[in-house]
Structure 1
């Protein structure tokens, strides 16, 4: 049985993760961690999510114990602290935090020298299949096309473009032999010439309760291919993260991604 602890357990994604762990027959929830000053400490987790394990209470994020894998979908500042805890206690991690800086990614790489980590910007099976499909399209269409990526999320999502949108763009750039940061375009408001076909444009929508929508457009003269993924529930990502946690148990130290988990490489 895989013993799993969840950081940020009282957030929207955290509550979904508590439920997903409880539903998984190969996992047991051993920790639901919240900030030290949270009024939820010592409250049973099923008081916020009736489908979660009734025997587990919210506890301080510094009280990690009896855990094989920690799952973290919190904000970057929290993730950095949680990563240090995992390394100190020699516990594997599944990380879905987005909006990470270059320094954050360096910290992930350093931590992965000591513990096994799965880091992915999106844990749905569909999105990870999409990453393969966009690479195929990028190669087969050749150079005579325009590439654009659109993403939409709920109004509370802070980072933009989303981590998933960037992952799609990076997959396309890799297939084209481009350096992503050289070809990514996030703003054309001051452009005075037509777009180049050697670039990847991004556009973003924030509104309502959209869980997540991503579309990669490949437009050529006379036709357009649109590859789209739409998520209707956070449980999609939560179940994927729990699947990654099961795969990660007993793995050697290293940095893995969802493509490894799904054997898509």
Structure 2
């Protein structure tokens, strides 16, 4: 079986978190992915459902893997980046709060391996990026407002997704303003509104399940294996 047809050997980094648990559950349902291992800060059991588990301090001893998906914390990010470079493996990361130095390290890693970092792994949001950039470019002089809503436990505002949407709008020539709402158990809603005298366009994405982010990360992992070194976006891997 060659690489093109063999399952992607996946390492889940940050396995004890909500995203890590969703990744393990959903990856186990796929024939094109084989979970090589799971890494978390602490290990309570060495093997769970046939998957070997490792503490973060044991990262050097994990089995061979093709791609690592990282949803951890900034203090754990450097180690997984270095491990991927050392193993010549691709890195898919959604870890937020990275420092400028860590961003620079990610750029350096992209010179050696394929790298994808995103603030949001929804495939729908990836399409929304394209629509927002096109709308901003086509509507010079229109007001651009981004309104985002999340659950009450989310502390950062505006959300990382909203800020990324603002960067996308800026590429099209618009200057975004932001508004944030924290209420109930809202998974995530983002509205990008373009307004001029007498008319308004709204581009909206609503997430109703956190599984969409795990599915998007798995989609990226499968399509990133074997790519040349460099920075990739989720949009690059949609086809």
The TM-score with structure 2 as length reference comes to 0.89
Structure 1: how far apart are the matches of 2:190 and 2:218?
23
| Alpha-carbon contact 1:99-1:163 (below 8 Å) kept | no
Contact 1:34 1:41 in 2 (8 A): no
Distance 1:66 1:43 in 2: 17
Aligned pairs (5 A) from 1:39-58: 39-42=43-46, 44=48, 54-58=49-53
Return the match for 1:222 from 198, 208, 211. 198
- Aligned counterpart, 1:153: 150
Q: Structure 1 regions of 5+ residues with no counterpart?
A: 45-53, 179-198
Secondary structure at the residue paired with 1:23?
Answer: coil
| 3-state SS of 2:51 partner | coil
Root-mean-square deviation (Å): 1.7
**CA shift for structure 1 position 43:** 5.1
Q: CA deviation at 1:106?
A: 1.1
Q: Name stretches of at least 5 consecutive residues in structure 2 with no aligned partner.
A: 1-6
**Is contact 1:74-1:97 (8 Å) kept?**
yes
Q: Secondary structure at the match of 1:135?
A: helix
Provide the rounded CA distance (Å) in 2 between the counterparts of 1:150 and 1:98.
20
Query: Which residue is equivalent to 2:215?
Result: 239
Larger deviation, residues 101-110 vs 244-253 = 101-110
Q: How many residue pairs align between the two structures?
A: 230
| Alignment counterpart, residue 36 of structure 2, candidates 26, 30, 41 | 30
**Shift >6 Å, 4+ stretches:** none
Q: Distance in 1 between matches of 2:43 and 2:97?
A: 27
1:67 is paired with a residue whose SS is coil
How does the TM-score come out when normalised to structure 1? 0.81
